[in-house]
Structures are given as C-alpha cells and as structure tokens.
A and B are shown apart, each in its own frame.
Chain A
Amino acid sequence: MAETQYASDYSTSEFLVTAAAGEIVDGDTVFAGVGIPTLGALLAKMSHAPNSILATESGSIGPDPGRIILGIGDNAGVENALMDTSLWRLFSDQQRGFFTIGMVSGAQVDKYGNLNSTAIFGDRDYVHPAARLPGSGGANDIASSALRTVITMPLQKRRFLEKVDYNTSPGYLDGYDSREKAGLKRGGPSAIITNKCIFRFDSVTKEAYLYSVHPGVTVDDVKNEVSWDLVVPDDVRETLPPTAAQIEIIRSLDPMGIYIGDGLKNMNFDTYIKMLEKSYKEL
C-alpha cells in the first residue's frame, strides 16, 4: 500500500474543508450550507465517500456540478441534480430522518453545541441588539432534525461561550437529556471543527471536550480561546493533516479562492467569466 502523502503547504480554510469532509462517511446524505461545508461535502464525494449525496436548501438534491457553488440557490446546485424540488419537500425529507448529516455554523457556540446566528446582544437586547446577524436560515431545522450535525467555526474566545446570547440552532441545550426532553428525539452535534482543533461531545453529559489539536497547536492554545473550563481528556490526539491529493481537489473546486482565500475581493466580471469558462473546459 502506498504511503499517504500529506500536504506540506495548506491554508487554515483548506484544513477546515478536509476536517469537515472527514466527518462524512460513504452513503451519507449531507445537508450543507455554502462555503467550507459544501467544499467539504464535495471533497468527500470526490474522495472517500463517492456515494454521498449533497442537498441544498432551495430544493436541489444530489447535484454533480462542474463549477463552484456560489450560494444555496446557485445554478451549480441544480447542475446534474438527481432531483429539483421545493423547499418544504426537501426540509420535510430531513424532518422525516433521511438526511444523515448536516453542517451548521454560527457566530457563537456554547459547551453544549448550541449555536447563535441571530443576534449579539452586547449591552442591548434581542429587539435592538449590538449586532443583528442574518438569522437561522435553515440552521435551526438542520440542528433539530439531521441525524447528526457538524459545526464548523473559527476558534475565538468571543465565539466559544459558556452560554450563547440567543439559541438559534439547538445542540444539547443544557446537557444530559435536556435535548430529548424538549422534544428533539434524535440528532445533535457530533463535532465542532475549528481552525485549531476538533471538539466532540461526552455521551452522558453532552458537554464538548477536546478531541484533537491540529499540528503545531497546543492544548493551552485551545484553552485560551474557550470561555468555559474545557474538559481535556488524557488522550488528546493530533488531527491528521490534509493529504496532497485532498488539497489538489479543493483547489480545483475553488480555483479563485473564493472560500479558501480572498478570491472574491480580487474578482471582476472578466476574471469571473474566465474562471467559469476554465471550469467548463476541464469538465
């Protein structure tokens, strides 16, 4: 068996994509928001999970696009789809239990994996918050009904809180069996993937613990960016770095670095059309 070639040069965003992809197993139906999660889902499909299916919120199931997906309702999400349908039908399939993994994010997360993407209150309140965020979108529905969820977000002290200002997307609520008691019979987060480490959740307390640190990151680096007293088991491992093959796929999926770099900033109409034409030629 050939030895795995790890990538020597990769960005934090690219690492996030490979870590997200690593949560997907073959045959999964993946409900993923746009950006890092979609890239992760497509990377999984093009590597270790060829039978996984991507679902996007506007109503497309199982696309096989030849270009970058630029939104949850982008045409690339329709491209070669198995099914194009309506929003309620797609989300109902999730509520029914057909979507095995959902990818969610937020501006704040707490130790039970509850997410806030609604408002940062600051010294104000919900009605007139210090910062109004976009809102749930489909995140609450994914967090409620996907068989498991994976959270991706950058590790920062102001984001990793004892308690979120507003619980947009339920994790394990107050821990233990509180999620089930609230009527959510299944699901819940299985991991929080960050730029520095991966957290997983205790099967009894449902509290997040440190599972692995990325190469070059120490346990103290992580603790410094978490607001609560983090559970650190004795057997914290090192996250496997991306492979060279994975990085190659990611760069082919996002050739201008829209998600993995600052490609959007440097883009004009001509370079955008040229990028699409190049993607088409490479099909």
Chain B
Amino acid sequence: MTDYKRLSNKLTTLSDAIGTFVSDGSSLCFSGMAGGQCVAHTYEIIRQKKTDLVLIGDSPCEAGDLLAGAGSLRRMEIAYCSYAVAGLGYNFRRAVESCIPREIELVDYSNYTIGLRFLAGAIGVPYIPSRSLLGSDIPVYNKDVKIERDPFGGELVSLIPAARPDTAIVHVSRADKRGNGQMFGFSANAENMARAANHTILTCEELVTTEEIRENGNLTIIPEYCVDAVVELPYACHPWNMPFAYAYDIPFHSDQLAQFATRENFLKWLDEWCFSAESHEGYLRKVGYERLDQLTRIERKFCKLKV
C-alpha cells in the first residue's frame, strides 16, 4: 500500500484526491469557518456520489447543508449549520425536521469543543477537559461528552472526546507539491484537522515552490508529513471569501439560498452547478472569470499581502 505521506510530489487533481481518500462511509472534516470554506470539494464529493458519510465540523455551511441535501450524510457532529448573514441552512433543516431526503444522526457540540476535538486528535490524546457545555443541555443529548470531576482539584469539567476523521479536506492560501501549507489570515481548525485525520487532502489557492515556503516558515500551519495529496484549486471557496485572495460574493449566496428554500429548486441547483458544470473549472466558468476577478481586485484594495 502506498504511503502517500512520504511522497515527495503529492500533486494530483481534485477528482483523483476525492476518489482515492473518500469512500462510502468515510468520516470527513473540512477547513474554513464562515470564510475559507471548502465549496469546490463538497461539489466534487456530491459529483462522485459518495454516501453514508460522517461529517465532523465546527460550522460547516456548504459541506453541511449541501451534503445533507444531496443525501450524502449518515451522521453530523457539528456546532452550527446555517449560512449566517446570507440565510438559513434549508437542506440541513429539512433533513433534521423531516428526514428529507434521509435521516441524519445529529450530535450537537459548540465551536470551541469541536476545536478541542481536533486538537485532542492532533496531539494524540483521547479527550481534553473544558469549561464549555457545563450546565447546558448539549451534554444532556450528546452522550459522547462526559461531565466529570477533575481528579486533581475536584471541579466539574466537561470531557471532550478526540476526533480522528478518516480524511481531512483542508484549503490553504498556498502550498508546495510536498504538502507544506501556508495560511494568510485566520486558520480556524485547519492545522489540527490535518493532524487529527488519517489522510489529509491539502488544496491551495496557489501552488508555490518549496523555496518560497522556506522564505516565510512562520506562515506554514501544516507540514508535509501530515499530507497525502496536494491540489491547486483557485477560487475553491466561492461564493465564500478567502483572506487576501477574494472578497465574499454575498449576492451570489443570496440567490443560491433563495433557490435552496424549496427541495425542488435545490435539486435544480445541484443539477446546474454541480453535475452539469462537471468540474470545479466548469463551475468557475459558469460563475464567470470577470466576476471572480472583480472579487479579487476589490479584496486586494483592502488587504495587501506584504510577504
């Protein structure tokens, strides 16, 4: 069996990476938090019709809502699923309230405790104690969390179980072909997802040389030994923003969610933007490079990278 993490050139395509590292029944996590979300990756998983997946995540929007709507998920362990300012997670709601298109086993956490789950997985311990969740109803319904007395001081703490997903799907600002990933701006749970998972697919806005990585080692959040595959994937987060790369396309999101309000129109959307587009490149052509370029140009006015 190939030890992908030892390869010196991990470059591949999105469809090959998903095909190799995501199977029916896989447990998955996606990087990003509001901005920087893995939208292209989600569409590719739906295109490949992966099913019975387990999603572990802080506040996954597309990954949570689209996969729920596509019927790809068996279980979600999350803190939040909604598009926030742009609108509600209609597919998520239909799945939980009415089992449409299928029932999903839902386990509630908070953003911090999901972060701690990836941290525990990343540092190789079974759980991490926290003050979060105490007194709330989250541990009443989520039986994977335990409230115990600290053996040293006797205080009540919540014990948050480690997450060890089969595959982490992580999108960063830039990376080299060996899998060293650098991030400009916030990184949410990316660094720990990459370490907690059995396999990590690293995608980047821009592929750079290892020499360029070495020039600013402080920016590296994921070293090559965590990574199994590298894909250059510009505009992977559209319509979401990517720090220092492109602004949030909130008008696009508004139109998208207006369509997601009914099941029938959601399926039309999937047909048009996922299946008929055929690939991420097809999706981008459909959005229009002029529009994407405008999002990049406006972003560079506000946030100029000085690396």
Contact = CB atoms under 8 A, between A and B. Distances in A.
A267 B88 CA distance: 18
Contacts of B285: none
B69 to A, nearest CB: 14
Residue among B112, B130, B254 with max Cβ neighbours from chain A (10 Å): B112
B125 interface: no
Interface in A87-108: 87-88, 91-92, 94-95
B85 interface: yes
Contacts of B232: none
Interface of B: 32-37, 58-59, 78-82, 84-86, 88-89, 92-93, 96-99, 106, 108-113, 115-116, 118-119, 130-138, 141, 147, 155-157, 184-192, 221, 240-244, 247-252, 254, 291, 294, 298-299, 301-303
Top 10 closest pairs, chain A to chain B, by CB: A73-B34, A183-B156, A182-B135, A59-B186, A73-B35, A134-B82, A91-B112, A58-B33, A88-B115, A137-B80
B188 A59 contact: yes
Interface of A: 34-35, 56-60, 65-67, 70-79, 84-88, 91-92, 94-95, 118, 126-132, 134-141, 143-145, 166-170, 173, 178-179, 182-185, 258, 264-265, 267-269, 272-273, 276-277, 280
Q: Is the interface of A mostly helix, strand, loop or mixed?
A: loop
A269 B85 contact: no
A127 B99 CA distance: 10
Contacts, number: 239
A203 to B, nearest CB: 19
A136 B115 CA distance: 13
B85 A132 contact: no
Given A72-B84, A85-B187, A145-B132, A267 B115 contact: no
Given A95-B112, A184-B131, A277 B93 contact: no
Nearest to B185: A78
A66 B137 contact: no
A127 to B, nearest CB: 8
A87 B114 CA distance: 10
Contact of A135 (B81, B131, B302): B81
Contacts of A60: 185-186
Given A59-B188, A86-B191, A138-B112, A70 B248 contact: yes
Nearest to A277: B298
Contact of B108 (A70, A135, A264): A135
B111 A141 contact: yes
B228 to A, nearest CB: 21
Given A85-B187, A88-B119, A182-B156, A166 B137 contact: yes
B33 A268 contact: no
Contact of B141 (A79, A126, A258): A126
Nearest to A134: B82
Contacts of A129: 96-97
B241 A86 contact: no
Contact of B115 (A84, A91, A126, A130): A91
B95 to A, nearest CB: 9
Nearest to B93: A132
